Amino acid sequence: MERIYLDNNATTLVDPAVREAMDPFYCHMYGNPNSLHSFGIEVRPYLHRAMEQLYRGIEADDEDDIIINSCATEGNNTVIMGMYFSLLKETRKKRIVTTQLEHPSIREACRFLEAQGVKVTYLAPNRDGLITAEMVAEVVSDKTALVSVMWANNETGLIQPMKEISDVCRERGVYLHTDAVQTIGKVKVSVKEVPVDFLTFSAHKFHGPKGVGGLYLRKGVVLPPLLHGGEQMGGHRAGTVDVAGMVAMGKAMELAVSALEYENREVRRLRDKLEDALLQHKDVMVVGDRNLRTPNTVYVSIRGVEGEAMIWDLNQHGIAASTGSACASESLEASPILTAIGADRELAHTGVRLSLSRFTTETEIDFTIGVIDKAIVRLRQLSTSY
Ligand code: C6P
């Protein structure tokens, strides 16, 4: 059996069709799109097409902007820092409302602004792991510059009610940002149906390459750039655009959107099969209602089994999973996200995240179930607390 990859919320395999689309831009069409000679001119139609694929993918309007950047961490920081220089620093609007569920690229950026005098409210989710529109409505005031709520969570897969939250923000005239990194290709993302002002995405989470991402800006919103020094991206982000990356992200977006139906039927079926098998064991808990989660994610707590021990055991059998987000994998701290949803100490330390993709097969899931079944029995026998 080849190795099995069930850590798709950390990163994904590059779809072979995406790889094929980006390949010509390394050794053949390697011109700088801002150059006036033929090498530059010949790549421009490909960038144009990639932009069209991205606009179509999230149902953006022609007059909106999509800034191509290096990753979601950059996109999230661009929004938070940009808001500081456009509103928070100089006007009466001195507040940001965000949540305790956010990725560190939002959380740490907000902490940095707190040190500059910005007031940040970190909304706690309810017991279901959700941030409701009412919670947002309760804390937003005329001093709020920005609301930032992640669309789907990277650890639990829980999907937030973004439409209702966007209704509140529109009504109150407050900018809304959403980190949609874990949502593209899993749930329909339409900025027409869910009118947000800023939206972050990252190609490597939907079968594109690492090192390229996008930030959507609604028409008319003002956001100073994070990177200065050139007119690329209409002045929104200086620096030569990663041509191969952008072409790849466009193709990956197109494929992700066309695979949505498969994701919601087949990937969900395999995820549910795995989840049902886990729940056959006693003292096993899955975080969040499966119908409120992205179809590929299950976050499970197995009493008496340390998350790290299970990951190690799975890895011995060639199966890749994680205890939570990859960027915190070396920390022994309890997951801030699980703590936020009220998990007790044990749950926050016994969590295992299994995340599938459209490349996951039934044979892989069956094999994984067999390995986990045996691991639970063995690791519990070794446990002093179970
Ligand atoms: N989450 C995980 O294992 P980058 O790599 O900068 O493009 O993406 C950062 C990021 C931002 N928002 C969300 C919701 C994310 O899940 C991630 C990346 C990985 O969960 C690595 S920490």
Topology of domain 4-12+260-382, CATH: Aspartate Aminotransferase, domain 1 (3.90.1150)
The per-residue pLDDT for range 129-162, each reduced to its tens digit, is: 999 999 999 999 999 999 999 999 999 999 999 9
Task: Say whether pLDDT at 55 is over 90.
Answer: yes
What is the best residue among 5, 77, 151, 205 to mutate for testing ligand 1's pocket, by most ligand atoms within 8 Å of CB?
205
| Residue 361 pLDDT level (bands cut at 50, 70, 90) | very high
User: Across residues 51-72, what is the average pLDDT?
Assistant: 98
The percent of residues in the chain predicted with pLDDT above 90, rounded, is 87
In angstroms, the CA 94 to CA 113 distance is 10
| Residue 331 pLDDT | 63
Interval 300-321 mean pLDDT: 95
153 lines ligand 1 (CB under 6 A): no
Q: What CATH architecture does domain 16-258 belong to?
A: 3-Layer(aba) Sandwich (3.40)
**Through-space distance between the first and last CA atoms of the chain, rounded to whole angstroms:** 32
Domain definitions of the chain by residue range: 4-12+260-382, 16-258
Please indicate whether residue 73, judged by its CB atom, sits closer than 6 Å to ligand 1: yes
């949609």: which residue's tokens? 180
pLDDT of 346 reads 73
User: Which atom of ligand 1 has the smallest separation from the CA of 152?
Assistant: 14
Q: Please tell me the total number of residues recorded for the chain in this structure.
A: 386
Q: 9-45: per-residue pLDDT in tens?
A: 999 999 999 999 999 999 999 999 999 999 999 999 9
Q: Rounded to an integer, what distance in angstroms lies between the CA atom of residue 263 and that of residue 189? A: 14
Q: Give yes or no for residue 329 having a pLDDT over 80.
A: no
pLDDT range class, residue 344, cuts 50, 70, 90: confident
Q: What is the pLDDT of residue 328?
A: 67
Residue 282 in this model has a pLDDT that exceeds 70 = yes
Mapping DSSP to helix (H, G, I), strand (E, B) and coil, where does residue 189 land? coil
- Angstrom distance (rounded) from CA 309 to CA 319: 13
Q: Which two tokens stand for residue 301?
A: 């707590």
